[in-house]
A and B are shown apart, each in its own frame.
Chain A
Amino acid sequence: MAVTDSLSRAATVLATVLLLSFGSVAASHIEDQAEQFFRSGHTNNWAVLVCTSRFWFNYRHVANTLSVYRSVKRLGIPDSHIVLMLADDMACNPRNPKPATVFSHKNMELNVYGDDVEVDYRSYEVTVENFLRVLTGRIPPSTPRSKRLLSDDRSNILIYMTGHGGNGFLKFQDSEEITNIELADAFEQMWQKRRYNELLFIIDTCQGASMYERFYSPNIMALASSQVGEDSLSHQPDPAIGVHLMDRYTFYVLEFLEEINPASQTNMNDLVCPKSLCVSTPGHRTDLFQRDPKNVLITDFFGSVRKVEITTETIKLQQDSEIMESSYKEDQMDEKLMEPLKYAEQLPVAQIIHQKPKLKDWHPPGGFILGLWALIIMVFFKTYGIKHMKFIF
């Protein structure tokens, strides 16, 4: 009896030890998973999709925007979290031989208009003022909910803009334009009002890279379809409809996104359009972004993925600050940083993006300058006589 008892006790102890060890291994595994769970730091997704040009021959801009809308909706972002701004109604244009459709592929393979599209800002409502009000949240109280961007500090926002643009501006509706400085300031307002966690800005216009040159707020990643001085090209005309259907960059982005499903682990580094297909050189800007683009999933911005993991163990969550501290230590930034950064405090952005020139320390004037001034004074006194000296000294 005593032997069995001791044996059973030993077995129990062994079992417990094994379980504990396994548990700890499993728990550490779960904790790793939990760390990955909070890797991105966002809890909800929004999308602001803007098409800024009107008229029938700008069919392709509406098709661009609608194809991104379609992908974003398919990957899970609901209409209540999408602000869709279309400057003209191509589907019901009298020149459309297939009314109530907007095609993105020729031979009418893909109708991106669908039958459940919800356009929030239509036609003449797409103005620079409305766009900026949507972004910054300064909206009159009578605006319906579907026209508001109700994001918070844990929102990842995708902003997609297309239309006709130039070096430093984007044309809205043939009558006004938004400059890159205004856009950068709008994003800064959003940061200060805690309206986003991370922002992905995509622009498909001619000279699109000029639009993200002036950004200075943190956590923004920007993609553009062409560099300054280049034109973005349209993809294919449809002879039955008589217009160009899509722009090249968005066409290949759409083809890429069609392969993505909500569970895919593709990251932002895969979203690349080679020059052979796009002809123009797409650009990107990631210096303001905290994470490495290869750790950023496509679905972090394009989809709204509910992360659900079922576990039976309890997990001890580590504090946020440790994660952030480790990433800071990797970058060898400010070693004095001990406390976690609060939201409203600015990152040392100036060090990140080097936009403002550093104030140099004052040095005494060098030998060359001293010699030059001595020469000037000597010449002066030689010309005008030494008698002026007594007025100086």
Chain B
Amino acid sequence: MGLLSDPVRRRALARLVLRLNAPLCVLSYVAGIAWFLALVFPPLTQRTYMSENAMGSTMVEEQFAGGDRARAFARDFAAHRKKSGALPVAWLERTMRSVGLEVYTQSFSRKLPFPDETHERYMVSGTNVYGILRAPRAASTESLVLTVPCGSDSTNSQAVGLLLALAAHFRGQIYWAKDIVFLVTEHDLLGTEAWLEAYHDVNVTGMQSSPLQGRAGAIQAAVALELSSDVVTSLDVAVEGLNGQLPNLDLLNLFQTFCQKGGLLCTLQGKLQPEDWTSLDGPLQGLQTLLLMVLRQASGRPHGSHGLFLRYRVEALTLRGINSFRQYKYDLVAVGKALEGMFRKLNHLLERLHQSFFLYLLPGLSRFVSIGLYMPAVGFLLLVLGLKALELWMQLHEAGMGLEEPGGAPGPSVPLPPSQAMGLALYVLPVLGQHVATQHFPVAEAEAVVLTLLAIYAAGLALPHNTHRPLSYRVVSTQAPDRGWMALKLVALIYLALQLGCIALTNFSLGFLLATTMVPTAALAKPHGPRTLYAALLVLTSPAATLLGSLFLWRELQEAPLSLAEGWQLFLAALAQGVLEHHTYGALLFPLLSLGLYPCWLLFWNVLFWK
């Protein structure tokens, strides 16, 4: 007979699983963590290489020499900006036209769900200015974008200067086969989102924007530039985008080749690249970079304008110029030459970037881990949930009864609707009830939202007391007192495994991070045993606590550790940002945590406090 249909063998298998369950779970968990840590060592990490043939092996000579012009433009821009307080639209239009581009503007406005404390804005309205350089001898079917997001202060004026100088230089060349769009947006990412929505003629986030007058064809690639000073010591590249999307690895490879060619110092996550990968130092540094990338990707925030381009499958990067205390500095000409080289190579493209990886992790600028090699880590972690669920299923079957019984034990499905309702309340109430809160309490709207979030979150902890009270009047069957919570835990384990599995497929970092913290305590939760210890563990691994912990870890890895008070403030700010970004850009972390993982976590809380 078959292995599973033979009752003798099945019983033997069941006994094996039940006996060895705990060691297997521990082994699987440890294997998952160990696999993740081993990702920084070769052979799991490989050298990057250029996969696209059209961007091939030949180097082009850069001829950009407009450093002075860039600085002059930047000075003018900063002066006009200070005078007008907002983006100097008329000056930008005039200058772009004088450089030779086709200039268009776009106005947009957005009412934020609650006033943003960090930037102090509620009703945001602004104007984007963009100039199109038409390809001299080609049809305008494809385009490249160079964008500079301008916030409410003048920290990005050098980038605007460089953009204008590059536009003037590019206008003098005749080898462009794609149109180039030079985009200056107001209010950072809000302006970029408005422009992208109008360009692709969609409305994903409820932004009101005027339609675009001038269009340039399908965007093949985009580069966002942020320069705060006119000399830089290094260029930092950001790849993580909205909801953890990443650009095609070839774009990063392109940037890295020009870093090497121009002798520029390029960093990833603000960290220098380790030279030596054979000894232990290189991989350890790589592990730091990898963890930083995991944390940033898990947060699902667009870390720069490029993050919003990725939603439309436009490969994009953000380059940030860092001016530190190093001796050797590069001026705008060096940065301009790197950009010119990148655009010239992108000009050679015939198809969208598709030859290289779309899903990867980066332990360093010249090393990557592909999805086929990092997925087993989260697979091992989810295996723990599967094993535990299997054990519970077998135990329930050994008890021998079906789940339906007249007048039976309190149904295991009773805590499900209240948990889900709590999750819904967590999602909807803070923003909805902010005005009510500000009327009754002396807090600002943003604070009100955050405090409501925390209040509802904590209120969920009292759920077992509320759901079990009406049940205590029922006759509890004495035959199988454990059946109720075991069935609930089974359902909760499967629910968690499903959610984490789906999350890990699209955003590996978020799935892995949540799995690392939630899986052990979910597996351990049961009403017997040291209840206070288990309760403490469960609270420490709840989604909110994971967020708090990862903030501390992130700052620790960046070598700027936080004190407890600072960490708490940052945590509150992160909560507000999360809700805001969900409403303005469609970031999915907030709904995932509130509608998906928090109710699941509450189920485990209910299991723990089962009577």
Contact = CB atoms under 8 A, between A and B. Distances in A.
Nearest to A245: B58
B176 interface: yes
B177 interface: yes
A55 B54 CA distance: 8
A55 B350 contact: yes
A239 B61 contact: yes
A158 B135 CA distance: 40
B175 A56 contact: no
Contacts of A94: 135-138, 175-177
B139 to A, nearest CB: 9
Contacts of A181: none
Nearest to A55: B350
A171 interface: no
B420 interface: no
A99 interface: yes
B320 interface: no
B175 A96 contact: yes
Contacts of B57: 237
Given A94-B175, A95-B175, A99-B137, A56 B54 contact: yes
B348 A239 contact: no
A57 B59 CA distance: 12
Given A56-B348, A56-B350, A244 B58 contact: yes
B343 to A, nearest CB: 12
A57 B135 contact: no
B174 A99 contact: yes
A5 to B, nearest CB: 91
A240 interface: yes
A92 B137 contact: yes
A99 B173 CA distance: 12
Nearest to B344: A242
Contacts of A97: 173-175
Interface in B335-365: 344-345, 347-348, 350
A352 to B, nearest CB: 42
Interface in A71-95: 92-95
Contacts of A92: 137
B5 to A, nearest CB: 46
Contacts of B137: 92, 94, 99
A94 B175 CA distance: 6
A53 to B, nearest CB: 11
Contacts of B54: 55-57
Nearest to B53: A57
Interface in B95-152: 135-138
Interface in A89-117: 92-97, 99
Interface in A235-288: 237, 239-240, 242-244
Interface string A192-233: 000000000000000000000000000000000000000000
A97 B137 CA distance: 11
B228 to A, nearest CB: 32
Interface in A18-67: 55-57
B177 A242 contact: no
A97 B175 CA distance: 5
Interface of A: 55-57, 92-97, 99, 237, 239-240, 242-244
Given A95-B177, A95-B348, A244-B58, 18 more contacts: A55-B54, A56-B54, A56-B177, A57-B53, A57-B54, A92-B137, A94-B136, A94-B137, A94-B138, A94-B177, A95-B176, A96-B175, A239-B58, A239-B59, A239-B60, A239-B61, A242-B59, A242-B345
CB-CB nearest 10 A-B residue pairs: A94-B138, A94-B177, A239-B61, A237-B58, A242-B60, A97-B175, A94-B137, A95-B177, A57-B54, A95-B175
29 contacts: A55-B54, A56-B54, A56-B177, A56-B350, A57-B53, A57-B54, A57-B56, A57-B348, A94-B135, A94-B138, A94-B175, A94-B177, A95-B347, A97-B173, A97-B174, A97-B175, A99-B174, A237-B59, A239-B58, A239-B59, A239-B60, A239-B61, A240-B60, A240-B61, A242-B58, A242-B59, A242-B60, A242-B345, A243-B58
